Structure 1
Amino acid sequence: MERSNNYFSAIEGVIRGFIITVVLLLIFAVVMTFIEVSSQISYIVYLITTILSIMYASIYAVRKIGERGWLIGIIVTLLYLFILYVVSVISGNSAVIGVAGVKRLVLALIVGALSGMIGINLK
């Protein structure tokens, strides 16, 4: 029973992370309607949005589960990125993962693990 509760907490953290993502991207979309934004700025905003969402999702899940912070953070990060990748492919973006994608993956995994460690110590 406890394992299923852990899975539910991890999934709940990912869902909350996506809510943060949607809210931040909606705010950015409103800003983009009034201001011309370069592709470099857009990339940075998307990266920061992803990092903040992963941080929140990992910390939330780890605080609910209460153990193995770094591992739960990595699992939440992988689940978040997998869902993001599937949504991206469904929406018509290329399925090719290049060097930049691998760098983002490594950065996200590091952020997820560190956020998990922070979350376990916030109790």
Structure 2
Amino acid sequence: MKGKVQNYDNRTLNIPGIIIGLLVSYIITLAFFIVYALILTYTPLSELTLPTLTMLITIIGIVLAGAIAARHTRSKGWLNGGLAGLLYVLIMLFLGTYFLKEVGLTSDIALKLLWGIILGAIGGMIGINL
């Protein structure tokens, strides 16, 4: 293998793909939240839908990050997707801590991290087959 250039598609861990997946999924997540905020502002839709829609938008973002991260790999899409999902949740938790001053490691955070890995891995399995 010495002297051969490693092809981008043959890497097991696709760091550029993970970064691109995170960026794209956060842009789409932000767009969904802006549209939802506008709907809440200009329609009689109740704010009681906020937790459900926030969870749904976050799930879509995590799965999308995993799918994009695994799109250009030939194997271990679940690994790339799971790592993208984990990073998505960690960034979200960091932003929440920074802006909302929520501090502390709880079982709720551990559960969010686990769900991030699982949903990202599912997205990675989808992405590797696209």
- Normalised by the shorter chain, which TM-score bucket? 0.7 to 0.9
List aligned pairs for 1:1-123, cutoff 5 A. 2=8, 6-34=14-42, 35-38=45-48, 41-122=49-130
CA deviation after TM superposition for structure 1 residue 9, in Å: 1.4
State the TM-score, normalizing by the size of structure 2: 0.80
User: Mean alpha-carbon deviation: is it higher for 5-14 or for 82-91?
Assistant: 5-14
Letter in 1 for 2:92: L
Report how many residues are paired.
Answer: 119
The CA distance in 1 between the partners of 2:25 and 2:74, in whole Å, is 18
State the TM-score, normalizing by the size of structure 1: 0.84
**1:26-85 superposed Cα distances (whole Å, 9 cap, x missing partner):** 0110011133311xx211111111110111111111012332111111100111111111
Q: What secondary structure sits across from 1:94 in the alignment?
A: coil
Bigger helix fraction: 1
The CA distance in 1 between the partners of 2:60 and 2:75, in whole Å, is 21
Question: In structure 2, do the counterparts of structure 1 residues 43 and 99 end up closer, same or farther at CA, with 3 Å as the change threshold?
Answer: farther
CA deviation after TM superposition for structure 1 residue 6, in Å: 2.2
Gaps of 5+ in 1: none
Kindly report the root-mean-square deviation, in angstroms, between the aligned alpha carbons of the 2 structures.
2.0
Gaps of 5+ in 2: 1-5
CA deviation after TM superposition for structure 1 residue 97, in Å: 4.5
Which protein shows a greater Rg? Answer: 2
